[in-house]
Structure 1
Amino acid sequence: MAAQALRAFFRHAERRGWCKAGIAGAIQGPRRYVHEGLPDGPTWEEVQRLLLGIKGSSPSALRARAVLLLFAIYGLRSGEVSRLLLSDFDWSAETFLVTHSKRGGRQPYPLQHEVGEAVLEYVVKCRPRTGSRHVFLTLHAPYRSVSPASLWALTSRRIKAAGIQCRRSGPHCLRHACATHLLQEGVSLKEIGDLLGHRSAISTGIYAKVDISMLRRVADFDLGGLL
C-alpha cells in the first residue's frame, strides 16, 4: 500500500515537473510469495474442544459433527465434502471416495471409526428422505446438497462459538490444523500431501516451517567427525 501511494505521488510530481521522470517506475513494493507465511489454524487441542462442544442429537448438531470431523481428520476442502455421495461410502470395506477439488480424480480413504459413526448417525437418524444422493443436505425443504459456502458458514460459526481465535475461521483452518498435527506426530510431508490431495510437494512444504523443535532435531545429527 505504501509503495502504491508513493508511485502515485511521484507520477503526479513528474507530470507537474516537480521531479525528474522515472522515479515512480523505479519504486517497487516488497515481494510476498504464495508460501511465505505460516499456516493459519487452531491447535489440535482447540480442534478437539470444538468437536466435543457439539452437543445434542438435532439434525443441525449431527450434521455439523460429521462435517467437522471430515474437515479435521482428513483435511478435506468444503467442495470435496459438499460433493460426497451416499454411494461414495463403502461401509463393509470401511472406505470412502473423495473427488478432489484441485488436482481432480477420485481418491479412496480409510474410514476412521469415529468419522464413520458420525456420518452414519446423521444419515440414519436425520438425513431428509429425498431423491438427492448427496450425503449432506440442507436442513429445510426444498432439500438439496449443502453448498461449499454453507459449509464454510457452518464451520466459521462453530469455531467462533467455541471461542477459538483464528484469523480465518472456515474449513481451510481445520485443514491446516490437520496437517500440522500430522507433522507433529511424525507423518512425512509426502504422506501429508497425499492425504490433502496436493498436486505438488511445494504446497505441502509450507508445513515444514511449523514445528521448529522438530526441524532442530532433524538438523542436530552427528557428522561423524567431518568437521
Structure 2
Amino acid sequence: MRTTGSGAAADAPGYPAFTNEAQGFIRYLAQERNRSAHTIRAYRGDIEHFTAFAAGQGLTSLQEVDLSCLRAWLGSLDRTGQSRATLARRAATVRSFLAWAAREDLIPADPSLRLKAPKRQSALPDVLTVSQLEPLLAATQAAAVGGEPAALRARAVLELLYGSGIRVGELVGLDIDDLDTDRRTLKVLGKGNRERTVPYGVPAAHAVHDWLARGRPRWVRTESGAALFLGPRGGRLDQRQARSIVDKLLRTVEGTGARGPHTLRHTAATHLLDGGADLRSVQELLGHRSLSTTQLYTHVSVDRLRRSYEQAHPRA
C-alpha cells in the first residue's frame, strides 16, 4: 500500500521575513504530525496568503504579528467574497502556525488566541437515494458486460466506493494485496497514516473480480506494480482521474446535483444509518477520529425522514 505521508518540507511558503518560521512549521507537519502531502499543500497555501498580507502591511518578522493584523487579514478575505468555510479553514491554519511558533519560543505569545473567525456552515452533504443509486449501479454493470477495461474499472470504482464508504485517496492507494477476497475486506491507509480494515459487499466483490480478471490485465505494465486500479498506460489511477470517472457517472443521475466520490461516501454512511447500523460502527467504518463527524449523517437521515413525513402525512 502506498503511504500518503510527506517525508520532507517542500518549497518554503511565505516571504523572506517569514521563511525560517514557515519552513520549520512545514517540517513539523510532515515529520512530527505525519500530515499527508495534500494536507501540507493546503497549509502551505494558507500560510503563503497570510504572510503575503503581513509583508504587505510592512511587517518584517513573525514577532510583529498581532491581533489587529490577524483581524485585518480576515477582513480582507471576507471582502473578496470567500466562503465562510474558506475563512474558517485559513484562520485555523494560521492559529496552528502561531501556536506552534509560540511553543517553539519563536514569538513571545500567541496573538491568535483571541481571534474569532466565522464558523463553518453545517450544510448537510449531498446523498443519493436508493432509487437514484440503483439504476446507476445497474447501468454500470450493463456497460461492463462488453469487457472494455474502462467500463470494468468504472463499475469497480463505483461499487467499491459505495460498498465500503472509503475515501477516494484510500481507493487509489489500494494495492491488490490489500484485498482479502475470502473475507471481503480492504486494508486501507487513511488520514494521518492510520490503517483500518473495511468490509465490502458482494456486488463490489463481483465488480472487483471482473476488473482483475478481464480489465486490469489489458492495461498492466511492468511499472504498474501492485496497484489495484490502473490507467490505460499502466500507471496507478490518481485521485483526479477517479473523480472524473465518478463525476461522469453521477451526471447521468436525474434529480441531484451531487458530484464527486465523496457523494458515494456520504451516501454509504447515510444508507447504513437508515438501515439500522449503530453510530460507532459507522464511525469505525469511515475512519472518523471524532464521533461528532459521523453524527452529521444522523442529521441527514432525520432530514430525509422529515421531508417524507411532510410529503405524506395529512396533518404534517
TM-score, normalized by the shorter chain, greater than 0.5: yes
Contact 2:125/2:300 (8 A) holds in 1:
yes
Residue 88 of structure 1: how far off its partner (Å): 0.8
**Distance apart, 1:115 and its partner CA:** 1.1
| Partner in structure 2 of residue 155 of structure 1 | 246
1:126: how far off? Answer: 1.6
Match of 2:208 in 1: 119
* Change in CA separation of 1:208 and 1:94 when aligned onto 2, cut-off 3 Å: closer
Give RMSD over aligned pairs.
2.5
The match for 1:184 among 265, 271, 274 is 274
CA contact (8 A) 1:193 1:201 kept: yes
Q: Percent identity?
A: 30
Alpha-carbon contact 1:103-1:197 (below 8 Å) kept: no
**Residue of structure 1 in register with 2:195 after alignment:** 106
Distance 1:212 1:76 in 2: 23
Q: Deviations 1:131-161 (Å, cap 9, x if unpaired)? A: 321010002x2x1000011101110011102
Aligned mates of 2:137, 2:155 — CA distance in 1: 7
With the length of structure 1 as denominator, give the TM-score of the two structures: 0.74
Gapped regions of structure 1 (runs ≥ 5): 6-28, 217-227
Residue 187 of structure 2: aligned partner: 97
Deviation (angstroms), 1:63? 0.4
User: Any conservation in 2 of the 1:84–1:134 contact (CA below 8 Å)?
Assistant: yes
Structure 2, gaps ≥5 residues long: 1-74, 80-115, 307-316
The residue aligned with 2:133 is 47
CA distance in 2, matches of 1:110, 1:212: 26
Secondary structure of the 2:155 match is helix
Q: Which one-letter code corresponds to 1:48 in the other structure? A: E
Give the secondary structure class of the aligned counterpart of 1:109. Answer: strand
> In the aligned structure 1, how far is the partner of 2:303 from the partner of 2:186?
35
**One-letter code aligned to 1:96:** L
2:231: which partner in 1? 138
- Count of residues in correspondence between the two structures: 187
- Tell me the distance in 2 between the aligned counterparts of 1:158 and 1:213: 26
Q: Which amino acid aligns with 1:135?
A: L
For residues 105-142 of structure 1, what are the alpha-carbon distances to aligned partners after superposition, in whole Å with 9 as ceiling and x for unaligned?
Answer: 22222342221111111011121232321010002x2x
Measured in 1, the distance between the counterparts of 2:301 and 2:183 equals: 35
Q: How many Å apart are 1:188 and its aligned residue? A: 1.3
TM-score w.r.t. length of structure 2: 0.54
Displacement after TM superposition at 1:39 (Å): 1.8
Q: Show the 5 A alignment for 1:58-97.
A: 58-97=148-187
Other-structure match for 1:9: none
Cα separation, 2, equivalents of 1:145 and 1:4: 40
Residues 191, 107 of structure 1: CA spacing in aligned structure 2 closer, same or farther, 3 A cutoff?
Answer: same
| 1:208 paired residue number | 298
- Amino acid across the alignment from 1:88: D
Deviates more, 1:79-88 or 1:112-121: 112-121
Instruction: Kindly indicate which of the two structures has a greater share of residues assigned to helix.
Output: 2
